[in-house]
Chain A
Amino acid sequence: MSAAHSVTQLLARWNNGELEALDELMPLIYDELRKMAKRYMSHQNPGHTLQTTALIHEAYLRMVKQKEKHFENRSHFFGVAAQAMRHILVDYARTRQTAKRGAGSRPISLEEAALVTQERAAELVAFDDALKELETLSKRQSRVVELRYFGGLSVEETATVLGVSADTVMRDWSMAKTWLHRALSPSSDV
């Protein structure tokens, strides 16, 4: 079975309520994103700003059988891809943070150093931690953040993935952002 075929099928199965399909889908997309990242590395100048959305969109084009594409499929794919992207970036940020603490430290290339400071990496890690906390309070809101923030999805796309109205997404997004901001602010109120 070709990768494209299996991704399409897995998406369909997931769409039909087979939750375990997601477990199979996730590693596929995760791998694809990493591979694509590697490809970007070989073709683009370091420092080239990359839209996570573009990356995911490209992964979609590569992985999903185009003949069978329809919007729902695409949205669902984006839903998984956003989660994969979150893992990738946060994992990466954690290694950058580790460097700061000295454990497993490694030299930082100039390109990397120019792009992301350890503080910024720490920020992302903290953001992820806060998002996990939010998840315990509202799964849907944390998904909205994940989709919009890591997946770069629009409000409408997010709504499709989650099966809610755009208005709900807007409200969740607003609340979640505020909650996260407060959680991450050092001067957060007692």
Chain B
Amino acid sequence: MTPQQYERLTELFHAALEVACDNRTAFLDQVSNDDATLGQELKSLLAAHEQQAPHIKPPEDIAAAYLAQPGSPTGPPLLDPNTRIDRYEILSLLGKGGMGEVYLAEDLRLHRKVALKILPAAVAQDQNRMRRFEQEATAAAALNHPHIAHIYEIGECESAHFIAIEHIDGDTLRDKIHRDKAPLHKLLKYLIQVAEGLTRTHAAGIVHRDLKPDNIMVTRDDYAKILDFGLAKLIEPQTTPGPGVSAAIKVDPSGIAQHSIAGMVMGTAGYMSPEQAEGKIDQVDHRSDIFSFGCILFEAITRHKPFADESIIKSLHKVVYEQAPPIKDFDPAAPSDLQRIVGRCLAKDRDERYQTIKDVAIELHEVRLAMIGAGKVDNSVQLNRSGTLGRQTIGPTATSISSAEYIATQIKRHKKGTAIAVAALVIAAGFGLYKFTNKKPFAVAPPATRLTRLTATGKAWAGSISPDGKHVAYVVEEAGEESIWMREVATSTNVQIVPPAEASYASFSFTHDGHYLYFIKGEKDGPGSLYQMPALGGSARKIVDNVASRAALSADDKRIAFIRGGFFAKENSLIVANSDGSGEQVIATRMTPENFYFGGIAWTPDGKSITCVAGNSFRKLIEVPLDGGPDKLLQTPKWIGLADIEWLPDARGLIVIAKEQTRSAPSQIWYLSYPSGEAHRLTSDFNNYGNLSLTGDARTLIVTKQETTSHIWVAPDGDASRAKQLTTGTGRQDGFPAVNWTPDGKIIYDSTANGGRHIWIMNADGGEQRQLTDGAYDDQGAHVSQDGRSIAFISDRTGIFHVYRMDIDGTNVKQLTSGGEGGAAPLFSPDRQWVIYSVGGAKFGNFSSWKVPVDGGERIQLTNDSWASAISPDGKLVACVQYVAARALRWNIRIVPFAGGPPLKSFEVTSESRPSLRWAPDGRAIFYNLTPGGVLSGQTNLLIQPLNGGALSGVTNLWMQPLGGGPPKQVTHFASESFFAFDWSRDGKRLAYGRGATTSDMVLVTDFR
């Protein structure tokens, strides 16, 4: 039928309907006479019309069914490619599971691919659960760890709850075990990495709860990454079923979790712990993960699940009541240590398992090293991607890069190239959050080390001592220009050998004959170059481009060893060349995260190997033989910073600059005994040391010492000219990081006057200085409640810094926060009902703030992107600081409602350190301190400051921003020194602040052996 015929048919149809029934037959006949086909059509249409009085069922039922299916666990992909969810554009469906669909998506803002998990609506609907999940996922998101899939964002868009996760291109561990039949030493490598990742999350109080081979991805570069932290929280019941209610064990055999069913046990059969299998949710803790880890380890070794059975119920029964079969039944050749490790992981009783996953990691590492050493695998040398001969990393790949460290290094690279900055930066991330532990970690008693100050300008750094001990080369920075100086130790005379210039110098080394000096000169926007110059002056000659470390000279001064390639590059190399720069030879190449760390490099006393540092988080000391033999790992304590190394000539030990595993511990000088790995500190103070060098007889060494001193001052009306210093004494840090007025005009402040950092009180004239807290730990960050009754502060008495409160006289101490995150910078709400505090986060600038009831209890999040710094006098508004950019050190000051909600006001400031904030007593303005850039000496490298004020450098002044509008106003006009903390007296008439400076000088160290 043609459209024309159809049109005609339509006309006839309507005409026929208008014709009375009696006449219709005649009408039809007439049509048929004209056109038989048309007549037939019309007839049949009319019949159809009559038959049904045409009715088409509306598609409402289909629509309803359609609505019932999207988002269901088994439903088809809900989102088409190109769909936008917030700032993500869907590219394709990656997979479906109990927790909804996972899409490959592009983050349109950051232009990176992410895995976007859309939570099923039914799950997202449960607000309690979502809140708990978000808490946990937020905590997990704060962990930046190479073996944890990074959670970028948890968000909601158009009622769709989504999680943006690092997109990992690779295979699951299940595939590696069963499909690829990866060799055991490889699987162990992955599992050691998994254990490292879990170590980190467990330390933060996060338990995975659903660890299984499907939740572990192995990237194409061979890194294991754990997925889905916190997701288990969404599904598990919130309480253990009460007595008389049997825990309904419901486990999804496919690994697709069911929706919330009371008493349901979350987890995947075959990997869950007995306590999970029995539904004893309140007993689930990090040791449950250790059990699951044991199941995976068993599977990796035997390629079988330890508790497999024909049904889930039977399998769960086995988990609870039966021992796993011996692994020898499957693999007679498996190292017996593995049986022991698996057995301890799989103990039914939590208390009989390993108590920390770290222990498992260490033991597995040893087993693996033994396997490799015994020749069971041959992977000591292999071709790396670039085709050059490189060394395969052995041992547990290291853990996280502190982002602060990263930024430090970036800035260092771009700006300064100073080695001490690297030594010092280690303070960075969580000032106030982590503690100094192990102040005396080893039994060896420290000898009577003597420190003699060599310079006193506070501006000298990067020193190196000549092998005969007669000269010290160092850098002085003034007014943004650097010069190189040579000091004759005996006569204390200083000679400038390179005039001031806009340049940066670092990493000095004398040749052993003392004739030449090698150093690195920073190049703009690029790696540094190695220069050589006559030690007593003359022209410097560039001999090698692109050098990332200092150049270590061989004993005969004929060869140099150095690192090329940034620590955060994909790979970097250890290079040996002739001392004139010719004949470069790549000795070894390492891949991230096992890169060479450029902080320390030295020839072994026998001249056959290079000792250097590698590893991202925990620094490893390795010895790389020049003849191509396998790397040797030197025993060391757990150090997160290892910046400078020097061998003692008898090869029985090294002097190193190292930093312990706690973030606020400064870099100190250590003696490391070889080969036992025993170590002891030569220094134990609040200063940072760096740029170590040793004389030929190893009796004297020189270091750069960074020292921060601050005192409490009070200025009437903020007028610096009338300011009065209230505390005195060298080497003290007063009012750093906090100073506070009580309502009756006393001052509460932090002070290191008596050794550790504690909270003190004194009168407004500096009289009656009295210590309020005491103990072998640090208390700091005091804030006084508006009624003057209580002090909120932080203390590391439990191992990390948590928030506490106490009465104004130092009694009735109560801990308010718990968990692995800790807390910092507490503030009372004016009504004293809440204590607000901030969390630094593992990522640089990754702040959040919270409030907790004054008597403890559930915390509530205030902000997820900023640091709460002050609360308005009426308690309605909180002023926060948000980190904007790394390079320029820009910050947003934001005013947010205490009750929650978006910021009401936000303005940007530039400061090298994180501004502290205070409300004007009348509530109409915000005061903040700014320390602009460009004035400061490079050695203190303010990297430290943004988070915490680990150093006081530059010139700080106070500013005021009226909240009613108008331009900001500078309040103080200091020309020197810096302050981090300040507070207005309650009447708004007196400004108290902790003002000081960080100095950098050369120090000679003797009698250390």
Question: Which A positions have Cβ atoms within 8 angstroms of B?
Answer: 27, 31, 34-35, 37-44, 46-52, 55, 85, 88-89, 92-93, 95-96, 106-107, 109, 111-112, 115-116, 120-121, 123-124, 127, 136-138, 141, 149-150, 152, 171-172, 174-175, 177-182, 185, 188-189
> Across the interface, which residues of B come within 8 angstroms of A112, CB to CB?
65, 68-69, 72
Nearest 10 A-B pairs (CB), nearest first?
A: A42-B121, A116-B65, A189-B44, A115-B65, A182-B48, A137-B6, A177-B54, A46-B68, A111-B68, A92-B66
Which residue from B44, B55, B63, B69 sits with its C-beta under 8 Å from A55? Answer: B63
Cα–Cα, bound, A109→B69 (Å): 8
Q: Which of B56, B59, B125 contacts A181 (CB 8 A)?
A: B56
Does the CB pair A52–B54 fall under 8 Å?
no
Bound together, the chains give a CA A111 to CA B72 distance in angstroms of 10
Q: Is the CB of A37 within 8 A of B66?
A: yes
Q: Are A181 and B67 in contact (CB under 8 A)?
A: no
Residues of B within 8 A of A (CB): 1-3, 6-7, 10, 13-14, 17, 43-45, 47-49, 51-52, 54-72, 74, 76, 78-80, 82-84, 121-122, 124-125, 158-160
CA gap between A116 and B49 in the complex, in Å: 27
Which residue on A lies nearest to B54, using beta carbons? Answer: A177
| Inter-chain contact B44/A181, CB cutoff 8 Å | no
Q: Cα distance A152–B123 when bound, in Å? A: 32
Query: In angstroms, how far is the closest chain B Cβ from the Cβ of A119?
Result: 12
CB pair A138–B3 under 8 Å, yes or no, is yes
User: Given known contacts A38-B160, A89-B66, A181-B49, what 15 new A-B pairs fall within 8 Å (CB)?
Assistant: A34-B83, A38-B121, A43-B159, A50-B64, A115-B68, A120-B61, A124-B59, A124-B62, A138-B3, A150-B59, A171-B10, A174-B14, A177-B55, A178-B49, A181-B48
| With contact pairs A42-B159, A175-B13 given, residues A51 and B60 touching in the complex (Cβ less than 8 Å) | yes
B175 shortest CB reach to chain A, Å: 23
Contact B45 A120 (CB under 8 A): no
Which of A43, A121, A177 contacts B56 (CB under 8 A)? Answer: A177
Q: Report chain A residues within 8 Å CB of B48.
A: 178, 181-182, 185, 188-189
How many whole Å from A171's CB to the nearest CB in chain B? 6
The answer for the CA separation of A182 and B51 in the assembled complex, in Å, is 10
For the complex, what is the distance from the CA of A49 to the CA of B365, rounded to whole Å? 60
Checking A55, A95, A111, A120 against B76 with a beta-carbon cut-off of 8 angstroms, the contacting residue is A95
Closest to A189 in B: B44
* CB of A37, distance to nearest CB on chain B (Å): 5
User: Given the complex of chains A and B, what is the CA–CA distance between A51 and B59 in angstroms?
Assistant: 9
> Are the C-beta atoms of B83 and A31 separated by less than 8 Å?
yes
* A39-B159 contact, Cβ under 8 Å, with A52-B59, A149-B56: yes
Q: What's the count of A-B pairs with C-beta under 8 Å?
A: 149
A-B contact pairs, 12 of them (CB 8 A): A42-B159, A49-B61, A93-B62, A116-B62, A120-B61, A120-B62, A124-B62, A137-B6, A149-B58, A171-B14, A174-B54, A180-B56
**How far in angstroms is the closest Cβ of chain A from B311?**
19
The winner among A92, A107, A180 for most chain B CB atoms within 10 A is A92
Given the complex of chains A and B, what is the CA–CA distance between A52 and B83 in angstroms? 22
In whole angstroms, what is the CA distance A93 to B48 when docked? 26
A152 to B84, CA, bound (A): 28
Interface contact A181-B61, CB-CB below 8 Å? no
Nearest CB of chain B from residue A130's CB, rounded to whole Å:
10
- Residues in B with CB closer than 8 Å to A93 are 62
Distance of A139 Cα from B68 Cα, bound (Å): 33
Contacts of B122 in A (CB 8 A): 42
Which residue of the partner chain, among A38, A52, A107, A150, contacts B78 with CB atoms under 8 Å?
A38
In Å, the complex CA distance between A179 and B48 comes to: 8
From B1, B47, B159, A38 is in contact (CB under 8 Å) with B159
Enumerate chain A residues within 8 angstroms of B160, measured Cβ to Cβ.
Answer: 35, 38
B67 x A37 contact (CB < 8 A): yes
Q: B47 is contacted by which of A88, A89, A123, A189 (Cβ under 8 Å)?
A: A189
Which residues on B sit within 8 Å (CB–CB) of A89? 59, 62-63, 66
Distance in angstroms between the alpha carbons of A182 and B124 in the assembled complex: 46
Residues of the B chain whose Cβ atoms lie less than 8 Å from the Cβ of A177? 54-56
Which residue of A has the minimal Cβ distance to B4? A137
The answer for the CA separation of A182 and B45 in the assembled complex, in Å, is 7
Complex Cα distance A182/B52, Å?
A: 10
Nearest CB of chain B from residue A179's CB, rounded to whole Å: 7
Q: Are B63 and A39 in contact (CB under 8 A)?
A: no
A96: nearest chain-B partner, CB-CB: B65
Which one, A39, A41, A138, contacts B7 given CB within 8 A? A138
Shortest CB distance A189–B (Å): 4
Contacts of B61 in A (CB 8 A): 49, 115-116, 120
Q: B84: nearest residue on chain A (CB-CB)?
A: A31
Bound Cα distance from A116 to B45, whole angstroms: 29
Contact between chains at B52 and A181 (CB < 8 Å): yes
